[in-house]
């Protein structure tokens, strides 16, 4: 089913105590003014995940996501975290292929496909990120780039498996830069993503897919972005670190 989703990607921010405070503040604000039909997702750092799951165990509106996982099932990968480990503490979802992971950790489409498989095996939701860099946008190659990322990491899945995937379109030039894609630019590429999925899996699967926008999404622009027919919510970075801003984005639907 196509869902409205607002996910907060905290990245490498917030120590443990301030992270727990942030969760408490978000819960309190949503108690006063509920999220309604919006699915809220929090993706704090690994060190906060277990506590986040415990704090939110009875909260039906908020689920917990990791920001990454390793592409192998387990073994000698010092410092890494497996999908199975995440699942064993009750994490619901995992962000896969964020542009910062692609850029700073050289993650390839092939590795990301493996991560997606492992997440689905553990019945976790992969929040799969795609998006072009500025030069690709300027050269009008963004459609091609996004299509390749999606095809190479997702199109090996069966339609049944694909049904559990969430896609986040995040133009790299808009992440953390203050520059946002216009609602028209977001709609154009979200519609393209949905059509690409439709060609592979048919109209029903494409229509059920939630496609989130990410990249300097904030309370001042989320309403216009979310009003577009193919924008089903947002993956929020900077603005997710402030409870008021994050909850305002949730309520902008």
Instruction: With both helix axes pointing from N to C terminus, report the angle between 219-226 and 183-201 in degrees, rounded to the nearest 10.
Output: 40
Q: Select from 93, 146, 129 the least CA-distant residue to 211.
A: 129
Token code pair at residue 163: 């049904």
Q: How many residues does the chain have?
A: 253
Exactly one of 48, 142, 170, 251 is catalytic; which is it? 170
Binding pattern for the stretch 188-217 against ligand PGA, x by CB under 6 A and - elsewhere: --------------------------xxxx
Exactly one of 98, 142, 190, 251 is catalytic; which is it? 98
Token code pair at residue 4: 């409205």
Q: How far apart are CA 181 and CA 233, in angstroms?
A: 14
Binding ligand PGA by CB under 6 A: which of 97, 119, 237, 248? 237
Binding ligand PGA by CB under 6 A: which of 166, 235, 249, 250? 235
Encode 207-233: b = buried (16+ Cβ within 10 Å), e = exposed.
eebbbbbbbbbbbebbeebbebebbbb
Specify the residue, 14 or 206, whose C-beta has the smaller distance to ligand PGA.
14
**Binding status of residue 166 toward ligand PGA by CB under 6 A:** no
Q: Select from 90, 158, 148 the least CA-distant residue to 124.
A: 90
CA quadruple 35, 40, 45, 51: dihedral positive or negative? positive
DSSP reduced 3-state for 208 = helix
Specify the residue, 75 or 178, whose C-beta has the smaller distance to ligand PGA.
178
Q: How far apart are CA 99 and CA 102, in angstroms?
A: 5
Binding ligand PGA by CB under 6 A: which of 34, 36, 176, 202? 176
Q: Could you tell me the smallest distance in angstroms from the CB atom of residue 149 to ligand PGA?
A: 15
Q: Could you tell me the smallest distance in angstroms from the CB atom of residue 228 to ligand PGA?
A: 17
Binding ligand PGA by CB under 6 A: which of 5, 6, 9, 63? 9
Residue 88 in contact with residue 122, Cβ under 8 Å? no
Binding pattern for the stretch 114-153 against ligand PGA, x by CB under 6 A and - elsewhere: ----------------------------------------
Specify the residue, 45 or 238, whose C-beta has the smaller distance to ligand PGA.
238
Other residues' Cβ atoms within 10 Å of the Cβ of residue 145: 18
Binding ligand PGA by CB under 6 A: which of 23, 52, 167, 175? 175
Number of Cα atoms under 13 Å in the Cβ half of residue 184: 0
Q: Could you tell me the smallest distance in angstroms from the CB atom of residue 113 to ligand PGA?
A: 20
Query: Site size for ligand PGA, by CB under 6 A?
Result: 13
170 part of the active site? yes
| Catalytically annotated residues | 98, 170
Rule CB under 6 A: which residues touch ligand PGA? Answer: 9, 170, 175-176, 214-217, 235-239
């Amino acid at each position: 089913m196509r869902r409205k989703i607002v996910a907060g990607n905290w990245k490498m921010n917030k120590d443990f105590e301030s992270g727990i405070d942030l969760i408490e503040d978000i819960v309190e604000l949503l108690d006063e003014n509920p999220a309604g039909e919006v699915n809220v997702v929090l993706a704090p750092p690994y060190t906060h995940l277990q506590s986040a799951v415990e704090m939110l165990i009875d909260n039906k509106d908020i689920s917990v996501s990791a920001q990454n996982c390793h592409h192998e099932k387990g073994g000698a990968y010092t410092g890494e975290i497996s999908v199975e480990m995440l699942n064993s503490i009750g994490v619901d979802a995992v962000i896969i292929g964020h542009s910062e992971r692609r850029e700073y950790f050289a993650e390839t489409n092939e590795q990301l496909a493996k991560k997606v498989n492992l997440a689905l095996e553990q019945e976790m939701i992969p929040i799969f990120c795609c998006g072009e860099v500025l030069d690709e946008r300027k050269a009008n190659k963004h459609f091609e780039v996004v299509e390749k990322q999606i095809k190479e990491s997702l199109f090996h899945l069966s339609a049944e498996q694909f049904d559990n995937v969430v896609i986040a379109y995040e133009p790299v030039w808009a992440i953390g830069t203050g520059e946002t894609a216009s609602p028209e630019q977001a709609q154009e590429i979200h519609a393209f993503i949905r059509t690409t999925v439709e060609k592979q899996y048919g109209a029903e699967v494409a229509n059920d897919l939630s496609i989130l926008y990410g990249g300097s999404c904030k309370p001042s622009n989320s309403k216009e972005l979310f009003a577009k027919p193919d924008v089903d919510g947002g993956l929020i970075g900077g603005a997710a670190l402030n409870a008021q801003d994050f909850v305002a984005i949730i309520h902008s639907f």
